[in-house]
């Protein structure tokens, strides 16, 4: 009986050790990504990462608001390692809520991403610019000469401008950048001018703004760069493809700080159970192969040097423009509440 008891004790200890080993092995070979990027092509990237490293990517897709609520509600018990979303303002807002941690600071990440586009808690993985689209039939070169975001409030654009709602994160970040550069009071006056110039109440997504210009409902629109290439690709149908052909792109603020830039960002969640693997995944997303995947499927600008944007972007938007490298993207989150305040006060719906 004693021998049997000792044997059972040894078996139990072995089972516990085996269980811990299996659990540790499982944790060490997976990474949990809360993903708010709505691009089907991204899943192929994660499969490539798994094939290369053996690390399984558990992908939890959802809208940014729902994923953020889940991360906040789970707190210290969160299952999330990375939160990946489309806008530095969202990553900044999550940082302000205390849900992120430092650690995205490996030599590979630092070498790949300029300081403007990263912090120790979140890192840009692909870039986009928020620019002006115009009708070449109704807008002259003289009107656009030296055009800036500040110039959107110029009375000459009265009844000629379309832009998304103030609740849109892209607009929150744009206005936050203006507050950073020009101050809150000046930006509040600017927002009033923008509202006065709107051709209609804000409605629809970025593609809807471009289509409004193509249809003659407005002369200029504000939208992100990748939307035009997406429309031109035909992936959104023949109607949008034809509408995209009727507008031209203009990059504002070329004579001063440069065009407003934003990113898709990967944020390291506080309490991440697989932090090391999370860093490895971000490093993978910044390799030339992954960056080419982004540029050719989502039509964003590459984050790293040495990778060219999609031919659709190059041919219709160009590469020769000055990016705003002065305004650090962490200011988008810091100034987000003020941005909402000035837009609301101006009557920006």
DSSP string of 106-117?
Answer: -HHHHHHS-GGG
For the domain 2-127+263-308, what is the CATH superfamily, name and number?
Periplasmic binding protein-like II (3.40.190.10)
Predicted local distance difference test score (pLDDT) of residue 41: 83
Q: Is 275 exposed, middle or buried (0-12, 13-18, 19+ CB in 10 A)?
A: middle
CA distance 170 to 323: 17
CA distance 230 to 210: 12
The two three-digit tokens of residue 211, written as one number: 């289509």
CA distance 19 to 12: 10
Residue found under tokens 């993903």: 35
State the Cα angle at 127 between 65 and 282, rounded to 5°: 75
Helix (H, G, I), strand (E, B) or coil at 33: strand
Predicted local distance difference test score (pLDDT) of residue 39: 80
Q: Maximum CA pair distance of the chain?
A: 98
Helices 169-182 & 184-197, crossing angle to 10 degrees? 130
Predicted local distance difference test score (pLDDT) of residue 24: 37
**In sequence order, what are the residues at sequence separation of 6 or more whose Cβ sits closer than 8 angstroms to the Cβ of residue 80?**
32, 33, 34, 60, 70, 71, 74, 269, 272
**In sequence order, what are the residues at sequence separation of 6 or more whose Cβ sits closer than 8 angstroms to the Cβ of residue 81?**
31, 32, 33, 268, 269, 272, 273, 274, 275, 277, 278
Predicted local distance difference test score (pLDDT) of residue 294: 95
Predicted local distance difference test score (pLDDT) of residue 28: 59
What residue spans define the domains of the chain?
2-127+263-308, 129-260+322-346
Helix (H, G, I), strand (E, B) or coil at 243: helix
Instruction: At 58, give phi and psi (nearest 5°).
Output: -90, 110
pLDDT tens, per residue, the chain with 349 residues: 333 344 333 333 333 333 333 333 344 599 999 999 988 889 999 999 999 999 999 999 999 999 999 999 999 899 999 999 999 999 999 999 999 999 999 999 999 999 999 999 999 999 999 999 999 999 999 999 999 999 999 999 999 999 999 999 999 999 999 999 999 999 999 999 999 999 999 999 999 999 999 999 999 999 999 999 999 999 999 999 999 999 999 999 999 999 999 999 999 999 999 999 999 999 999 999 999 999 999 999 999 999 999 999 999 998 789 999 999 999 999 999 999 999 999 999 9
CATH 3.40.190.10 at 129-260+322-346, yes or no? yes
Predicted local distance difference test score (pLDDT) of residue 25: 39
Predicted local distance difference test score (pLDDT) of residue 21: 35
Helix (H, G, I), strand (E, B) or coil at 274: coil
Fold agreement (2-127+263-308, 129-260+322-346): yes
CA quadruple 124, 69, 74, 17: dihedral, nearest 10: -50
Predicted local distance difference test score (pLDDT) of residue 320: 86
**In sequence order, what are the residues at sequence separation of 6 or more whose Cβ sits closer than 8 angstroms to the Cβ of residue 187?**
175, 178, 179, 339, 342
Antiparallel, parallel or unpaired: β 122-134 and 248-250: antiparallel
Find, among 272, 284, 285, the residue nearest to 28 by Cα. Answer: 272
Predicted local distance difference test score (pLDDT) of residue 283: 98
Predicted local distance difference test score (pLDDT) of residue 201: 97
* HSE-CB of 13 using CA atoms within 13 angstroms: 6
């Amino acid at each position: 009986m004693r021998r049997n008891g000792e044997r059972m004790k040894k078996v139990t200890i072995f089972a516990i050790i085996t269980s811990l080993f299996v659990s540790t092995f499982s944790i060490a070979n997976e990474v949990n990504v809360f993903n708010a990027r709505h691009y089907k092509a991204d899943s192929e990237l994660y499969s490539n990462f798994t094939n290369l490293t053996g690390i399984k990517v558990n992908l939890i897709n959802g809208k940014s608001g729902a994923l953020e609520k889940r991360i906040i509600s789970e707190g210290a018990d969160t299952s999330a390692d990375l939160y990946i979303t489309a806008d530095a303002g969202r990553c900044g807002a999550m940082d302000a809520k205390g849900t992120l941690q430092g650690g995205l600071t490996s030599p590979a990440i630092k070498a790949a991403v300029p300081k403007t586009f990263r912090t120790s808690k979140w890192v840009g993985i692909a870039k986009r610019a928020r620019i002006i689209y115009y009708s070449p039939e109704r807008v002259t070169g003289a009107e656009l000469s030296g055009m800036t975001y500040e110039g959107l409030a110029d009375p000459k654009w009265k009844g000629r401008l379309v832009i998304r709602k103030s609740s849109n994160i892209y607009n929150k970040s744009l206005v936050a950048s203006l507050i950073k550069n020009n101050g809150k009071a000046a930006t509040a006056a600017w927002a009033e001018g923008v509202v006065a110039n709107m051709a209609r109440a804000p409605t629809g997504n970025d593609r809807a703004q471009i289509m409004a210009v193509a249809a003659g409902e407005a002369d200029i629109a504000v939208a992100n760069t990748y939307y035009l290439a997406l429309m031109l690709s035909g992936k959104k149908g023949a109607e949008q493809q034809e509408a995209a052909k009727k507008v031209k792109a203009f990059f504002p603020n070329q004579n001063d700080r440069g065009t407003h830039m934003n990113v898709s960002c990967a944020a390291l969640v506080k309490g991440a159970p697989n932090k090391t693997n999370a860093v490895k995944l971000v490093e993978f997303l910044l390799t030339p192969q992954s960056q080419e995947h982004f540029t050719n499927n989502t039509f964003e600008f590459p984050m790293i040097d040495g990778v060219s944007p999609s031919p659709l972007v190059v041919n219709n938007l160009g590469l020769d423009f000055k990016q705003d490298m002065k305004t650090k993207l962490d200011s988008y989150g810091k100034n987000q509440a003020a941005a909402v305040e000035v837009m609301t006060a101006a009557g920006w719906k």
